[in-house]
Structure 1
Amino acid sequence: MKHLYSLLFFLVWGMLFSGKLCAQNAEWQYIKDGNKLFRLKQFNAAEASYKKALKVNSANARAYYDLGNVYMAQGRDSLAMAQYDETLRLERNPMSRSMTYHNRGVIAQSRAAAAKTEGVKQNLLREAIKEYKGALRENPQAQNSRYNLALCQKQLRESEQDPQNQPPPPSKQQEPNPQPQNNPLINYARQAERKAREKINQNKHQKSLDKNW
């Protein structure tokens, strides 16, 4: 009886291991097929193949990365970024993480080139710079990321220093001209001045009469 239990244990364990091995083989076969289709630019078929791999194993970081590449090639940037988010959450390999950050930087940099306003362009360039720094943090030898990083930093400096991109200074409002005729102090001063002149003229006239005498 003891030997019978041992035999059943090994049979069950062997079936589980065999089933797991078959699933893993199918999972990676789907990814392999997807990569072949991607190289042929059959993006819809590649997308379907990667999704099959994720149905077998929803924690396959490589399948998320490859699926992100499909969306990126199709210009579906938001979907690509979502797949890359999952890749970074699951992936532990520094080289794979570096490539993921690099692709995220390329998306941000492409968006910056198509931006219609300088403010949006600058924000996207900052985002790209952040992603390329992440790529270099994972793999300091990533020369493509280093080049793109330097290019984005240069473009950002030029955009920020361009006088045409600076906001215009606030306009000065012209102050209204004072209305002296409505000012009681000015009116009083004018009356005093007029009286003083009348007094001076009166004295002059008196002196001229004195001389006649």
Structure 2
Amino acid sequence: MAQADRNYVRSGNKLYRQQKYAQAETEYRKALDKNSNNTQAMYNLGCALLMQQKDSSAIALLEKAGKAETAKKRKAMAYHNIGVICQNHQLYSQAIEAYKESLRNNPSDNQTRYNLALCKRQMKNQKGGGNKNQKKQEQKQQKQENKDKKQNKQQKQQSSPQKAEEKMSKDNAEQLLNAAIQEEKATQQRMKKQQQSAQRRRLQKNW
């Protein structure tokens, strides 16, 4: 039984690297059917859902993986990803809490520490934002910061499937970065259409 769920995880990882995220999702779900306590399958399924922009479902899986995982570094990765999703949706207070939880489990993760500092600044700007010109200037600055942040962030472990001791390949990192850039462009378009509040309510309701 244990071997079966590991086989499904390996199969899912292979599909994930080929950017076949829906098929990878199916394999990870099969692994969880065999072993509902497989935290690796939970985490990887969360990443596969994230890459399909199923953010609220991804958060649910990542939270489950974070709570069930005993290895501190893997637990930290799950909460880091939750923070990234919330930050992209401008849910800054939730993102801050997720990053703090990540750092409790892996205090040496400088990327999470950077994201936390950026998120605090974004929340302060959001609360202090007044006129349209100021908001435009903040959005322009935020867009550049996000681009730099994503370039650094997507080359690290988050949003990549966990494998025993194997690191993500350079090609896969570039593929994930491209996907992240596309997602960032879509997010900026939604911001321009002033739909942030609607998205925020919708995501919280799903939780």
The TM-score with structure 1 as length reference comes to 0.59
Q: For residues 51-200 of structure 1, what are the structure 2 equivalents within 5 Å?
A: 51-112=29-90, 124-164=91-131
What percent of counterpart residues are identical?
A: 39
Could you tell me which amino acid in structure 2 is paired with residue 100 of structure 1?
Answer: A
**Which has the greater radius of gyration?**
1
CA RMSD of superposed structures (Å): 1.4
Contact preservation (8 Å) 2:80, 2:112: yes
- Please say if 1:40 is aligned against 2:18: yes
Query: SS of the residue aligned with 1:154?
Result: helix
155-164 or 136-145: bigger deviation = 155-164
The TM-score with structure 2 as length reference comes to 0.61
Contact preservation (8 Å) 2:99, 2:112: yes
Structure 1 CA distance for aligned equivalents of residues 110 and 6 of structure 2: 29
Structure 2 CA distance for aligned equivalents of residues 159 and 24 of structure 1: 48
Structure 2 CA distance for aligned equivalents of residues 85 and 152 of structure 1: 19
- Give the number of equivalent residue pairs: 132
Following TM superposition, by how much is the alpha carbon of 1:134 offset from its aligned partner in structure 2, in angstroms?
0.9
Structure 2 CA distance for aligned equivalents of residues 163 and 47 of structure 1: 42
Following TM superposition, by how much is the alpha carbon of 1:80 offset from its aligned partner in structure 2, in angstroms?
0.5
Could you tell me which amino acid in structure 1 is paired with residue 103 of structure 2?
Answer: L
Query: SS of the residue aligned with 1:58?
Result: coil
Query: SS of the residue aligned with 1:65?
Result: helix
Gaps of 5+ in 2: 133-207
Following TM superposition, by how much is the alpha carbon of 1:48 offset from its aligned partner in structure 2, in angstroms?
1.0
Following TM superposition, by how much is the alpha carbon of 1:29 offset from its aligned partner in structure 2, in angstroms?
1.2
